[in-house]
């Protein structure tokens, strides 16, 4: 008999390792705020990208693990830094020239170039929340603008004003000489232009709760630090937020390791311990470059979901967060098939193994039953050789192979078929290149054709695979050269599926016809 909490406490899966670090913060007492707070941060200066989703997904996995090993309530806060100044126009949005006029305004005051929301920040926040909701994440959304304007940060801002010198002493050594000369942890919101100003603080009046700064036109202005009149520079802001809200856990990209260090020092200077943190590796695009909101490179969440299931995306996010990953279209088939392989394995595992399976961290204890009897890569190859452009065409093959399946009874398979057709047309078909068989390969293909013509058994993948092996075993050394020939000559690809399974799905007679076309040179353009 397994005890889920006890197994979680001992599990080596990375979400449980992270959760145990959070739990150590409260080994002697519960938090005064009544819950443990997990936070994810997001800057809506550009369209939300898949890295933001990854941070929420991974943090949710840690929170789920924490909830298993602890009886302390927990909460996930998704915080949008939407009061930040608009410093650069993203390249992947319309109205490029018009947006130039909004530079330096808070993001919640920048026009929405898509014309659907009050501001650019509102538009991007809405997209993010829509995706998070579609995945069923349990979170509370927080707006920096709302928190500053509502007074939620007033007490923390007053403390920051009183400890201004300590904050400056932490930040100034990290800056270049020119930036040091004008740096202030407080950014006034100009009452004249509405701009978020990066100007020196000339005077501080903690007893009045105000600062004095100079406008670009030379006028000196005194303003309160509370009530939304200022925003803090982002590292001090991060620390102030940790301190004010009592954040217990927040992960961030490897490129922010130094920022985490500085913000942690500032948080301590403000009187609170910084949260536990994990520095994850960044996602790279097809060229090995870091994906970026402003560049719009790499994959978006919409892109991934056009070609695969939401669960496969979460599976990708679970994998080795401290290892850099190439995030581009060619990873989708592999992640899709691995997700379903793990889902099938999950059903037979005992609790200790389940807790190490990514499926548990994606779905929790209530994992769905496997519903994809055919791999995504096999569907891609079937699409390729059949020339199918409609799902009904592919379903004709599938129903013969996987009996008692239909779009109604197997909606995941129906969606996978749609995705396979779309993926094939967009990414496989443009790069397919068949070649002619060599003399040795022709003999092997003729042998396979003869064996298939004599086949009288059922569509048995293992039996058919044995026939494929027999054709190459005595002819090719190493044997993998035979399978490479099958893929390149029959499928126009450098790699492919277990071919016995492919024959069972595509059909014996259809495979014979495919071999004839290849040997007659009909597949080569």
Range of the domain at 461: 439-519
Question: Do 130 and 193 lie in a common domain?
Answer: yes
pLDDT of residue 494: 87
DSSP string, 265-327: HHHHHTTSPPPB--EEPPEE-TTSPBP-TTTT-S--HHHHHHHS-HHHHHHHHHS-TTS-EE-
* Inside any domain, residue 380: yes
Q: What is the pLDDT of residue 229?
A: 97
DSSP conformational letter for 484: H
Cα 72 from Cα 38, distance rounded (Å): 13
- Is the domain of 134 the same as that of 206? yes
Residue 170: give its domain's CATH number. Answer: 3.40.50.620
Q: Are residues 121 and 226 in the same domain?
A: yes
3-state secondary structure of 331: helix
pLDDT at residue 298, as a whole number: 61
Radius of gyration of the chain (CA): 29
Give the end of a domain, one of 280, 308, 334. Answer: 280
Asked if residue 448 and residue 420 are part of one domain, the reply reads no
The CATH number given to whatever domain includes residue 493 is 1.10.10
Residue 359 covered by a domain: no
Tallying the residues shown for the chain, one arrives at 525
How many other CB atoms are found less than 10 A from the CB of residue 25? 16
Please report where in the chains the tokens 């044997």 appear, as a residue.
479
Q: Are residues 233 and 125 in the same domain?
A: yes
299 in any annotated domain: no
CA distance 465 to 467: 5
What total number of domains does the chain contain?
3
Predicted local distance difference test score (pLDDT) of residue 464? 96
Name the burial class of residue 122, with classes exposed (0-12), middle (13-18) and buried (19+) by CB atoms within 10 angstroms of its CB. buried
Q: For residue 321, is it within any domain? A: no
Q: How far is CA 257 from CA 38, 63, 252, 277, 279, in A?
A: 18, 22, 8, 10, 7
CB of 119 within 8 A of CB of 112? yes
Kindly give the residue spans of alpha helices, DSSP state H, lying in 79-119: 96-100
**Cβ–Cβ under 8 Å, residues 430 and 423:** no
pLDDT at 245 over 70: yes
Q: Are 121 and 153 within one domain? A: yes
Q: In what order do the strands lie in the sheet with 36-42?
A: 36-42, 74-80, 140-143
Among 42, 73, 36, 35, which Cα is nearest to 57's?
A: 42
Report the C-alpha gap between 213 and 184 in whole angstroms: 10
Contacts of 365 (CB under 8 A, 6+ apart): 4
Q: How many CB atoms lie within 10 A of CB 194?
A: 12
Q: Is residue 333 part of a domain?
A: no
Digit-coded pLDDT (tens) for 35-64:
999 999 999 988 777 888 899 999 999 999
State whether 74 and 97 are in the same domain: yes
pLDDT in tens, 150-196: 999 999 999 999 999 999 999 999 999 999 999 999 999 999 999 99
**Could you report the per-residue pLDDT of 257-270, keeping only the tens digit for each?**
999 999 999 999 99
Quick: pLDDT tens for 343-378. Answer: 999 999 999 999 999 999 999 988 998 889 999 999
What is the residue-wise DSSP string for 183-251?
--SEEEB-TTT--B------EEETTTTEEEEE-TTS-EEEEESSTTSEEE-HHHHHHHHHHHHT--B--
Cα(167)–Cα(37) distance, integer angstroms: 24
Residue among 176, 210, 181 nearest 198 (CA): 181
Q: State how far the Cα of 145 lies from the Cα of 161, in Å rounded to an integer.
A: 19
Average pLDDT score over residue span 461-488: 95
Whether residue 157 is contained in a domain is answered as yes
In a domain, 365, yes or no: no
- Confidence at 431, pLDDT banded by 50, 70, 90: confident
**pLDDT at position 1, please?**
45
For residue 293, pLDDT over 70 is answered with no
- Of 215, 249, 280, the position where a domain reaches its end is 280
Q: Are residues 217 and 169 in the same domain?
A: yes
| Last-in-domain residue among 280, 310, 344 | 280
Question: Do the domain assignments include residue 208?
Answer: yes
Same-domain check for residues 97 and 168? yes
79 and 225 co-located in one domain: yes
Distance CA 391, CA 410 (A): 13
Mean pLDDT of 229-239: 97
Gap between the Cα atoms of 103 and 87, Å rounded: 6
- Higher-pLDDT residue of 428, 219: 219
Burial class (CB in 10 A: 0-12, 13-18, 19+), 224: middle
What would the pLDDT profile of 93-134 be if each residue is shown by its tens digit?
999 999 999 999 999 999 999 999 999 999 999 998 998 998
Give the residue among 137, 149, 126 at the shortest CA–CA distance from 80.
Answer: 126
**Same-domain pairing of 420 and 450:** no
CB-CB contact of 122 with 41 (8 Å): no
Least confident range from 277-286, 327-336, 389-398, 506-515: namely: 277-286
Mean pLDDT along residues 458-486: 94
Do 263 and 210 share a structural domain? yes
């Amino acid at each position: 008999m397994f005890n889920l909490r006890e197994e979680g406490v001992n599990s080596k899966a990375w979400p449980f390792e992270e959760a145990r670090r959070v739990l150590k913060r409260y080994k002697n007492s519960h938090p005064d705020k009544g819950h443990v707070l997990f936070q994810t941060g997001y800057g809506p200066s550009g369209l939300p990208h898949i890295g933001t989703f990854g941070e929420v997904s991974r943090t949710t996995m840690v929170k789920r693990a924490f909830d298993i090993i602890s009886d302390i309530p927990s909460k996930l806060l998704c915080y949008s830094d939407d009061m930040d100044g608009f410093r650069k126009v993203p390249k992947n949005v319309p109205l490029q020239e018009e947006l130039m006029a909004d530079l330096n305004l808070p993001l919640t005051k920048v026009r929405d170039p898509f014309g659907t929301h009050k501001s650019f920040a509102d538009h991007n926040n809405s997209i993010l929340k829509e995706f998070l909701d579609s995945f069923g994440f349990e979170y509370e959304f927080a707006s920096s603008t709302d928190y500053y304007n509502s007074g939620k940060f007033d007490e923390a801002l007053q403390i920051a004003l009183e400890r201004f010198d300590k904050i400056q002493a932490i930040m100034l050594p990290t800056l270049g000489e020119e930036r040091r000369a004008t740096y202030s942890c407080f950014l006034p919101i100009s009452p004249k232009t509405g701009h978020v100003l990066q100007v020196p603080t000339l005077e501080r009046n903690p007893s009045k709760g105000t600062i004095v700064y100079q406008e670009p036109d030379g006028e000196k202005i005194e303003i309160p630090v509370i009530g939304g009149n200022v925003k803090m520079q982002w590292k001090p802001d991060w620390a102030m937020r940790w301190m004010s809200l009592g954040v217990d856990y927040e992960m961030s990209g490897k490129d922010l390791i130094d920022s985490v260090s500085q913000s942690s020092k500032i948080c301590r200077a403000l009187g609170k311990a910084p949260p536990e943190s994990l520095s994850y590796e960044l996602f790279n695009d097809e060229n090995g470059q870091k994906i970026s909101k402003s560049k719009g490179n790499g994959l978006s969440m919409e892109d991934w979901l056009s070609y695969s299931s939401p669960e496969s995306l979460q599976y990708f996010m679970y994998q080795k967060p401290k290892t850099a990953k190439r995030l581009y279209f060619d990873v989708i088939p592999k992640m899709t098939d691995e997700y379903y392989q793990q889902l099938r394995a999950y059903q037979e595992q005992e609790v200790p193994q389940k807790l190490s399976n990514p499926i548990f961290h994606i779905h929790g204890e209530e994992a769905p039953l496997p519903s994809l009897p055919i791999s995504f890569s096999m569907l891609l190859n079937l699409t390729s050789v059949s020339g199918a452009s409609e799902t009904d065409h592919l379903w004709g093959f599938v129903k013969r192979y996987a009996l008692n399946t239909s779009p109604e009874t197997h909606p995941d398979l129906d969606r996978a078929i749609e995705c396979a057709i779309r993926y094939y047309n967009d990414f496989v078909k443009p790069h397919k290149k068949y070649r002619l068989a060599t003399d040795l390969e022709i003999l092997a293909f003729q042998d396979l054709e003869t064996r298939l013509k004599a086949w009288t058994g059922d569509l048995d993948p293992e039996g058919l695979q044995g026939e494929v092996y027999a054709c190459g075993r005595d002819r090719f050394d190493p044997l993998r050269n035979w399978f490479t020939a099958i893929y390149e000559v029959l499928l126009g690809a450098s790699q492919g599926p277990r071919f016995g399974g492919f024959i069972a799905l595509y059909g014996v007679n259809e495979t014979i016809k495919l071999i004839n076309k290849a040997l007659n040179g009909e597949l080569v353009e």
